[in-house]
Amino acid sequence: MRLAAPILSLLLLLGACAAPRPAPDPPLPYPPAARERMLRIALAEWADWGGLVVAPGQRPPTARAESEPANFPRVLAYWRAVPQDEGAVARNRRLYAAALAGDPDGAALWQEPFWSAAFVSYVMQAAGIDRREFPGDAAHSAYVDALIADAARFPATAPFLPRSPFEVPPRPGDLLCADRGRAPIRDWRERAADQGRFRPMHCDIVVEAAPDHVDAIGGNVLDAVTRTRFAADASGYLLPEPPGAPAWFAIFENRLGRLPPWRETFP
């Protein structure tokens, strides 16, 4: 008996859905130059936004730098680094036009959606880190999940390894991630309980590590790219965050340039 074409098509579709996904290719190693480029780009972006330095939890008056028409192409470049921009580009092109025309609606330029994850994605992409090794996204939780999964599959070669926030001292190039939710997680292992659901997060790129402080640069902090100085002990380990500050749950150890064949030449 011959099946009707619609039924046959449905069966073929269901069969395709049931087929197992192919295993991901192993990550590739990167030279030390990739980490160096990543840090140079993050520092250059911070300088372009005025070089603001703050302490965690500090809320100085914001100049709404993101809404300045002169900064439109900067944030646009960040959003162009993610595959799905949540409508950010189309919406803010309209707001940019309004700002140029003196329309009050232009004051809302780049205020929605938040662009901090797009900033991290831009830095990685501009440094030459392929999406296979760092899958940039409009949400921190999406790339955090991808990095955790990659480290579980390829612990010897994954370019980013999740660590508990007080397990290791941060080093330049690491990602320092915090939970911004009402019931924050305190360790990256707790993320598995969310089963991939969105969770409000924020990650900064560590650019300096010293015996008494750790500096990290992040986007959409006080409506700009801002450098935050976190307290550390004499060995470089982070001290507990102050009351009211977002709760750290992970340091993603950056191993770009620290895996074979470059491991011997990069401490």
Answer whether residue 28 is part of any domain: no
Tell me the torsion sign for CA atoms 200, 115, 214, 62: negative
Answer whether residue 238 is part of any domain: yes
Sequence-distant (≥ 6) Cβ neighbours of residue 256 within 8 angstroms: 30, 31, 32, 34, 35, 38, 129, 159, 173
- Strand boundaries in 122-232, DSSP class E: 160-163, 175-179, 201-209, 213-221, 224-231
What does each of the 267 residues of the chain score in pLDDT, given as a tens digit? 444 444 444 334 444 555 566 778 999 999 999 999 999 999 999 999 999 999 887 776 667 899 999 999 999 999 999 999 989 999 999 999 999 999 999 999 999 999 999 999 999 999 999 999 999 999 999 999 999 999 999 999 999 999 999 999 999 999 999 999 888 999 999 998 888 899 999 999 999 999 999 999 999 999 999 999 999 999 999 999 887 788 899 999 999 999 999 875 544
- Strand boundaries in the chain, DSSP class E: 53-54, 160-163, 175-179, 201-209, 213-221, 224-231, 247-254
In angstroms, how far is CA 209 from the centroid of its own chain?
A: 19
State the first-to-last Cα distance of the chain, in angstroms, to the nearest integer.
69
54 in Cβ contact with 222 (< 8 Å): yes
Name the domain count of the chain.
Answer: 1
> What domain range is 102 assigned to?
35-265
Tokens 């840090």 correspond to 39
Answer whether residue 133 is part of any domain: yes
Answer whether residue 118 is part of any domain: yes
Answer whether residue 4 is part of any domain: no
208 in Cβ contact with 214 (< 8 Å): yes
